Amino acid sequence: MAKYRNELPQLSGDFFITTGGVGTSLIFDEHIELPCFASFTVLKDEAGCQWMVNYLSTFASVAQKYNVGLILETATWRAHPECLRKLAYSEEDAVNVNHKSVELLCGIRDKYETEQCPIVISASVGPRGDGYTPSAIMSPEQAKNYHATQIGVLSQTKTDMIAGLTLNYPEEAIGIAQAAKEVDMPITISFTVEKDGKLPTGQSLKEAIYLVDEATDKAPLYYMVDCAHPSNIVHTFLADEDWVERIHGIKGNASKKSHAELDECTELDSGDPLEFGADNQELLCKMKHLNIFGGCCGTNYRHVEEICKSCIPVFHQLEHNKRRYTV
């Protein structure tokens, strides 16, 4: 039985962290080839499973150290039908890899969770195409039908929620949200943006969120922005606009480079963890309702720990101010 599916603790507004860039860590740090950028391929043997547990446990240690919540993310971002077919996975393999990804996280939760450090298991669902460049754009109905297979499998596991990550056009986000809604799964949506703060389609984040909310009757519990450096998106958010308050999380890249520049990189750009923490703090000061912070490409536990150092004191001060002004 899923532990938090009916009452996700991050909805309380408490401070939560997420994991970092598992794919880039595997490729650049471990020198493991990932066909289709599919991190789940390392789960095919015991050594790969142990690496994944060790990697994710570093974030659990950080969460424990700072007494904050943690959203553990499965390695299922690419475990959808088309990618699985390209990698010659059978239907049975597809079910097994999605289940195994969740089971590994349950083991980490059993070891690290405390009353001050609740650990949520989030099943990642990624885009059908490239995360940086939308190619064949599906209609919402096509997207729902396509992603329903994986989401249906994940709904039968102990995962607490579904997270549509690195989505680059609203129609696919709508389909994912609708597919999750049909099997009563909590769903969050995370869009990726370019350095100008717009989706790769050229649409604004504001437009994308409005379109998804309108089409799904606000099915996503909240939105996030991922795969972009915090300093590249801070200019996007204007205070006092209602759509901004739908965004509760940021999963930033370590690098300030554009998606096109990152695609050409032959070495990992891990940026500056200290600066990364400070830039997330700047976002928090501007968007005071943010409570979920983590990393994407090029990040590891060091980046997330710097977020904790920079943001937690500010977060608590903001919470104190809210209580003071509402009394």
The model's pLDDT over 174-214, given as tens digits with 9 standing for 90+, comes to 999 999 999 999 999 999 999 888 999 999 999 999 999 99
296 is in an annotated binding site: yes
Amino acid at 1: M
Instruction: From 136, 141, 135, 145, select the one nearest 216 (Cα to Cα).
Output: 141
4 domain-assigned = no
117 is in an annotated binding site: no
Residue 221 in this model has a pLDDT that exceeds 50: yes
76 domain-assigned = yes
What pLDDT is stored for residue 255 in this prediction? 83
- Two tokens, residue 7: 């009452």
6 domain-assigned = no
55 domain-assigned = yes
326 domain-assigned = no
CATH number for the domain spanning 163: value is 3.20.20.330
Measured distance CA(290)–CA(308) in Å, rounded: 13
What pLDDT is stored for residue 321 in this prediction? 65
1 domain-assigned = no
Residue 218 in this model has a pLDDT that exceeds 50: yes
- State the sign of the Cα–Cα–Cα–Cα dihedral 318, 320, 325, 327: positive
Provide the residue range defining the domain that includes 227.
13-321
pTM assigned to the model:
0.94
72 domain-assigned = yes
In the chain, which ranges are E strands? 16-18, 69-73, 119-125, 161-167, 187-192, 223-226, 247-252, 292-295
Measured distance CA(157)–CA(268) in Å, rounded: 34
3 domain-assigned = no
How many domains does one find in the chain?
1
